[in-house]
A and B are shown apart, each in its own frame.
Chain A
Amino acid sequence: MIIRTFIATSFAALCATSALAQDFQPESPECIAPANPGGGWDFTCRQVGKTLQDLGLIPGTMQVVNMAGGSGGVAFAEVVNKRSDDQDLIVAASSATATRLAQGAFPGNTADDVRWLASVGADYGVIAVAADSEIDDLPELMEIIRNDPTSIAIGGGSAVGGWDHLKVLMAAQKAGVEDVRRVKYIAFEGGGEAVTQLLGGSLQAFTGDLSEAHGFMASGDIRVIALLAPERLEGEYADLPTAKEQGIDAVGANWRGFYVPGDTSDEAYDYWASAVSEMYASDEWQTVMQTNGLAPLDLQGDEFDAFVKSSITEIEDLSREIGIIR
């Protein structure tokens, strides 16, 4: 792209002086979005890439490469097998990646094959009903499910056993539903599609992320009966009741972040971690989080690595308990 290259070069010249005082500089920063354009991972790559560039934290433009396949498995395998020493590369990931790893859906790969870099925010889970629904709160919904699981169809944007499904099962388990496997979950291509079916009356409840629900919530089409966060959020979401305060201790956060190849040098790892950290602290990123319903989750480096690994263990235990994996 002629224009792009021109701008990128002039940008790089401008930024060279303001660059971080570190030994490592990526030559051509690249972000792999392990899905086709349009999804959450693609958003993470493009939005972070753009903000990093706007703030002059990376030289030039972040090149976003879409590598779809196997719910992230193709990109994971590529990074592990072919590009394990690429220092210029970061890869978008989220709770979905952790869920897949926990359920052993990336054959031959584990979370230890890469280095987990940093998070850029979290998206708390919600359980919602249509605005005109007779169900008032989460315990009431769970009561109906306990009595007759076939009467409530809950839709979400992930496959059976995926993150959206796990959230509702977690809540059901905490609410004392005996055989959670009988909860009727209907899988959709994305949260938006599921909300549409909720409004159309095919579904009785919706499980998803706050960012998927907030537009419909603000317009008054749907009513969030439970936020799966440890405590209430601030600002415009302050009046959303958490599941915890309703006596059902379920917390589910869909984090978004990055990993880097396993053989990334410590210099490069530190460079990327501090670049993302600085970006996270910026006003620009705070605005992005605000408008997209992202909650704070500010973890970098070893802290984030530990966080991901413990969440994988958690999901593994839960999946085994529910009976999704053996």
Chain B
Amino acid sequence: MDTLASLADGFAVALTWQNLSLALMGCLLGTIMGALPGLGPSNGVAILIPLAFSLGLGATPALILLTAVYYGAMYGGRISSILLNIPGDEPAMMTCLDGYPMAQQGRAGEALALSGIASFVGSFFATWGLVLLAPQLVKVALLFGPAEYFALFTLAFATLGGIASTNQAKAAFAAALGLGLAMIGVDAQTGVTRFTFGEVHLYDGIDFLVAIVGLFALSEVFVFLEHRSTDADGDTGKKMEIGKLYPSWSMIKSCIPTMGRTTILGFLAGVLPGAGASLGSFIAYSSEKRICDRDGTFGKGDPRGVAAPETGNNAAAGGALVPMLALGVPGSGTTAVLLAVLLSLNITPGPLLFTQNPDVVWGLIAALFIGNFMLLALNIPMVGLFTRVLLVPPRILMPVVAMISFVGIYGISGSSFDLMVMVAFGVLGWVLRKLEVPLVPVILGTLLGNAMEANLRRAVSISNGDWFTLADSWLSIGIWLVAIVGFILPIFLGRVFRKKMDDEYEKELSD
């Protein structure tokens, strides 16, 4: 009951007019930044830090503003994923897979509304998880040593086989490409440079935002140029309909089990420092596909394929706050920025935060609840407005998207070298699309490559060169088993296995 009393105190702190309007402003700005390709939650929060400072805000109001931006960006990323097939930020990448096909079928409104609800469910329950389970969850994070992290990342790559069902070799190719790109730069373990060819700009490696914006957004522009029909008006052939704005109750109901499972998965992924929201949405999607994709509708506009990653990434956003607050270890890029804000407000996150600064912690948690309800209230009515984007003819929309992508990258890094790398990625993305090589594994590789390698090397170093250390605890063995039995074996047994299942399924139907 202590917890609930503290939470009530938190609401008392958060519920002032100033804080409410800050939360509203943060939600709006966050949604916009999430939706713009190139500006993700971490940059969004970083951009607004000076605003919080120059307004002279105290610790709690500043945090309310910035976490509202954080949650807002997590909501906003899905908008461009669904409408344009361009992820607004990296966790929203998986939402493209089913969101965009839904939009093409004229169900953009439904997809947006459903993903809004899914986002709400994910972050609402994750925030409760943060309230009730934070101390226990810290222990979970401590169970993960380098060997366990390596097993977890391998699991993520093993699930790729399930996503790109057409050609496994192409998924493997794309993943290796992404991992290889991640290797560029100074090796964090030894400080030697790798694959930089003497270029100082490459020392810090390739920013995955540059990769994601290039691969998805710019290549989309090139695809449009390629297909431009030659009629006088110049509009491309496929006109999108807007259709129904809100999903039916039965559709929402069919997604409830999905949302339940992915909330838990995403939250746990968020709790592990170093895994973060992208892994949350990724694992949420691939496990849901494995569990309930019986008719092969995932990837073709299945509502559950929209609900799963959105629930997952928003739950992970909440989960990532657990290690940040309780250990002072950021679980994702955004929480790293939030951590810096806390430090500059003279608050040190860590094991003592909950006892030393209860007002800050509980005010923050209350703000998360408030922000979450605001976002739901903002996002659902605005579905109609968002879908209007589809009415803008592509010949105008696409250049705008391209320019926004450039600005997003340039505004953060101030480097025209990054812009050229981005254009190169645009070309690469276009070629890979033509050859039906999936883009998601490339991004996953660049996102996780360094952490995966670092943990492998840490684990083997700690055990003095014994590679068997990688499967030396019950936890790591468990993860390896899930990876092998759940995802790798089915690829090889796939054809036999799936045929049998289909037969049985049909039999059940005919019975």
Contacts and interface: CB of A to CB of B under 8 A. Distances in A.
B300 interface: no
Contact of A50 (B53, B330, B414): B53
B340 A38 contact: yes
Interface string B308-342: 00000000000000010001111001001101100
Nearest to B144: A200
B200 A159 contact: no
B200 A74 contact: yes
Nearest to A222: B351
Given A69-B201, A192-B328, A196-B327, A214 B348 contact: yes
B401 to A, nearest CB: 24
Contacts of A201: 142, 145
A196 B351 contact: no
Interface in B251-289: 273-274
B230 interface: no
A50 B191 contact: no
Interface string A194-226: 011101111100000000001110110100000
Contacts of A326: none
Interface in A141-176: 150, 153, 159-162
B350 A38 contact: no
A50 B340 CA distance: 14
Contacts of A150: 464
Contacts of A36: 333
Given A8-B54, A71-B204, A160 B348 contact: no
Contact of B203 (A8, A43, A71, A215): A71
Interface stretch (A86-94, A110-118, A286-294, A299-307): A286-294
B188 A3 contact: no
Nearest to A149: B464
Contacts of B429: none
Contact of B352 (A77, A219, A287): A219
A196 B142 contact: yes
Interface in B198-224: 198, 200-201, 203-204
Given A37-B337, A73-B200, A197-B145, A160 B190 contact: yes
Contacts of A214: 348
Contacts of A215: 328, 348-353
B200 A4 contact: no
A187 interface: yes
B204 A68 contact: yes
Contacts, number: 173
A4 B204 CA distance: 32
Say whether chain B's binding surface is mostly helix, strand, loop, or mixed.
Answer: helix
B413 A1 contact: no
B186 A71 contact: yes
A199 B50 CA distance: 35
A42 B201 CA distance: 19
A160 B191 contact: yes
B43 to A, nearest CB: 8
A187 B464 contact: no
A218 B355 CA distance: 12
Contact of A61 (B43, B50, B336, B346): B50
B123 to A, nearest CB: 22
Contacts of A43: 340, 343-344
B8 interface: no
Contacts of B273: 193, 196
A161 B42 CA distance: 29
A70 interface: yes
A7 interface: yes
A291 to B, nearest CB: 4
Contacts of B142: 196, 199-201
Contact of B141 (A64, A190, A196, A288): A196
Nearest to B336: A38
A288 B343 CA distance: 9
Contacts of A186: 458, 461-462
A15 interface: no
B232 interface: no
A193 B274 contact: yes
A291 B51 contact: no
Given A37-B42, A196-B329, A200-B142, A70 B461 contact: no
A184 B464 CA distance: 9
A246 interface: no
A105 interface: yes
Given A69-B204, A153-B461, A4 B339 contact: no
A168 to B, nearest CB: 15
B327 A192 contact: yes
Contacts of A219: 350-352
A69 B351 contact: no
B177 interface: no
A192 B329 contact: yes
B496 interface: no
Interface of B: 42-43, 45-46, 49-51, 53-55, 141-146, 186-191, 198, 200-201, 203-204, 273-274, 323, 327-330, 333, 336-337, 339-340, 343-344, 346, 348-353, 412-415, 454, 458, 461-462, 464
Given A53-B53, A159-B186, A159-B188, 11 more contacts: A38-B340, A46-B340, A68-B413, A69-B200, A69-B204, A193-B329, A196-B327, A202-B458, A215-B350, A219-B351, A221-B351
17 contacts: A7-B55, A43-B344, A65-B414, A66-B46, A66-B413, A71-B203, A73-B203, A77-B200, A150-B464, A189-B454, A190-B330, A196-B273, A196-B329, A214-B348, A287-B346, A292-B346, A292-B348
